């Protein structure tokens, strides 16, 4: 009897894993193990079984949806003849490491659903390299459209935008703004509203009682300019001082980082900065660890919010983070491109902006908020009564864009 029960539980787990992959394009072993309350070894065995059935592709730390053009995939599993995709679309991203893999996974999953073949190329933030990779895809026989993510800042950025607009195939920009100064009309885009995400973080910290809220950013991230705008505009709208610690170009993972982080802490003490937003979250994690090493209590002495949410949850305490909807960015980029190919030039250019979520964790929770009497769900998330009140008093769910979700670490 127990053997049949074990088989049933295994089937349910694997169905849940497949549901997650279909929705998001990929899963990580650690995330799905936590959600299902089983060991990571159990999830790895489930993924191995699904991979042997040809349903998923194993990758480091998890699995992705298997593409219909992968060798050995039976047509019946893909839902159509994999040898005859309806469209071929190219995608150029500046990195296949930090930030971009979920966007690629989202695009890949949506392309599969819409019978499109996705050809991926990795570039850098260099304009010439971007152009070289784009040209390679544009010159590929049968290429129908392109998703690109070049840096659009400065004169080189304007030139890049105009060049992309002049191509013979439609182009959608992912996580890149189309500047009005470029004077282009055919380009489409889908971006995260990083300014709105930062504004949500500032309002959350203000509601927690903080007046001087600082900002630390790693300069080479294009996201930084929109985070800075959102931070400054929200401080002004709330009537808060703008003299909290502000530093661009942080490198808390490089030689000399101890001295740099000590300097930030000294300036926090001198200016009365009691809360700080850090972009990106690996830098926030390093900064939190340094705070604890120096006897600075988080959040009692200094509250921390990360912008981006790849590793923030691994902090101790877990770090509150703004989470961009990366998979949705990839999916929507494919949707825009396919819609353009289907409708032709009669369809007006679309420029879509998606809202990120704020995931509230212990690193920014006021000390006065207690766990007593709070009902905790199976996945460790509790109803976010305070964050919901910040957003206007309504109850908010984890899946709604532009929401605040509270996660408390069990004692």
Q: Where are the domains of the chain?
A: 1-66, 69-186, 195-324+357-406
Tell me, what's the pLDDT at 153? 85
Burial class of residue 74, CB neighbours in 10 A (0-12, 13-18, 19+): exposed
* Beta-bridge partners for 64: 26, 57
Give residue-wise pLDDT tens across range 45-95.
999 888 887 788 888 788 887 654 445 444 444 444 554 688 999 999 998
Closest alpha carbon to 19 in 10, 31, 27: 27
d(CA 222, CA 194): 10
Closest alpha carbon to 206 in 404, 394, 372: 404
* Beta-bridge partners for 28: 62
**Count of residues making up the chain:** 411
Q: Measured at the alpha carbon of residue 303, what is the angle toward residues 301 and 306, in degrees to the nearest 5?
A: 150
Q: Measured at the alpha carbon of residue 282, what is the angle toward residues 260 and 389, in degrees to the nearest 5?
A: 105
CB 277, CB 305: distance < 8 Å: yes
Residue stretches of the chain with pLDDT short of 50: 1-5, 68-70, 72-80, 83, 368-402, 409-411
- CATH: 1.10.10.10, 1.10.3720.10, 1.10.260.40, 3.30.1330.10. Which one for 1-66? 1.10.10.10
Closest alpha carbon to 364 in 221, 236, 255, 203: 203
Same CATH fold assignment for domains 1-66 and 69-186: no
- Strand bridging mode 56-59 / 62-65: antiparallel
Phi-psi region of 249 (alpha: psi -120 to 50; beta: other; left: phi over 0): left
CB 387, CB 360: distance < 8 Å: yes
Tell me, what's the pLDDT at 400? 36
CATH superfamily of 69-186: Response regulator (3.40.50.2300)
Give residue-wise pLDDT tens across range 196-207.
999 999 999 999
d(CA 165, CA 102): 26
CB 275, CB 248: distance < 8 Å: no
CATH superfamily of 195-324+357-406: Response regulator (3.40.50.2300)
């Amino acid at each position: 009897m127990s053997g049949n029960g074990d088989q049933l539980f295994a089937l349910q787990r694997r169905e849940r894993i497949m549901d997650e992959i279909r929705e998001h394009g990929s899963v990580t072993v650690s995330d799905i193990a936590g959600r299902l309350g089983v060991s990571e070894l159990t999830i790895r065995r489930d993924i191995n079984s699904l991979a042997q059935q040809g349903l998923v592709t194993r990758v480091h730390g998890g699995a992705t949806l298997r593409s219909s053009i992968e060798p050995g995939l039976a047509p019946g599993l893909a839902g159509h003849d994999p040898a005859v995709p309806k469209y071929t679309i190219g995608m150029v991203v500046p990195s296949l490491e930090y930030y971009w893999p979920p966007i690629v996974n989202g695009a890949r999953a949506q392309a599969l659903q819409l019978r499109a073949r996705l050809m991926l190329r990795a570039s850098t933030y260099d304009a010439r390299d971007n152009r070289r990779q784009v040209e390679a895809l544009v010159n590929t026989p049968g290429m129908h459209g392109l998703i690109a993510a070049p840096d659009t800042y400065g004169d080189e950025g304007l030139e890049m935008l105009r060049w992309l607009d002049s191509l013979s195939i439609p182009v959608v920009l992912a996580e890149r703004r189309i500047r009005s100064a470029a004077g282009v009309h055919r380009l489409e885009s889908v971006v995260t509203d990083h300014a709105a995400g930062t504004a949500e973080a500032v309002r959350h910290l203000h509601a927690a009682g903080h007046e001087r809220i600082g900002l630390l950013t790693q300069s080479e991230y294009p996201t930084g300019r929109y985070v800075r705008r959102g931070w400054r505009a929200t401080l002004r709208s709330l009537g808060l001082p703008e003299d909290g610690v502000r530093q661009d170009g942080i490198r808390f993972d490089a030689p000399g980082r101890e001295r740099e982080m000590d300097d930030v802490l000294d300036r926090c003490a001198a200016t009365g900065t009691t809360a700080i937003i850090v972009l990106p979250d690996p830098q926030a994690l390093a900064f939190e660890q340094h705070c604890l090493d120096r006897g600075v209590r988080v959040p009692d002495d200094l509250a921390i919010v990360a912008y981006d949410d790849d590793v923030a949850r691994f902090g101790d305490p877990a770090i509150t983070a703004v989470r961009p909807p990366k998979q949705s960015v990839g999916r929507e980029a494919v949707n825009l491109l396919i819609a353009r190919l289907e409708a032709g030039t009669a369809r007006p250019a679309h420029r879509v902006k998606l809202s990120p979520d704020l995931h509230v964790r212990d690193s920014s929770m006021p000390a006065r908020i207690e766990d007593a009497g709070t009902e905790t769900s199976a996945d460790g998330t509790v109803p976010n009564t305070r964050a919901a009140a910040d957003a206007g008093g309504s109850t908010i769910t984890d899946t709604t864009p532009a929401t605040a979700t509270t996660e408390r670490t069990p004692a």
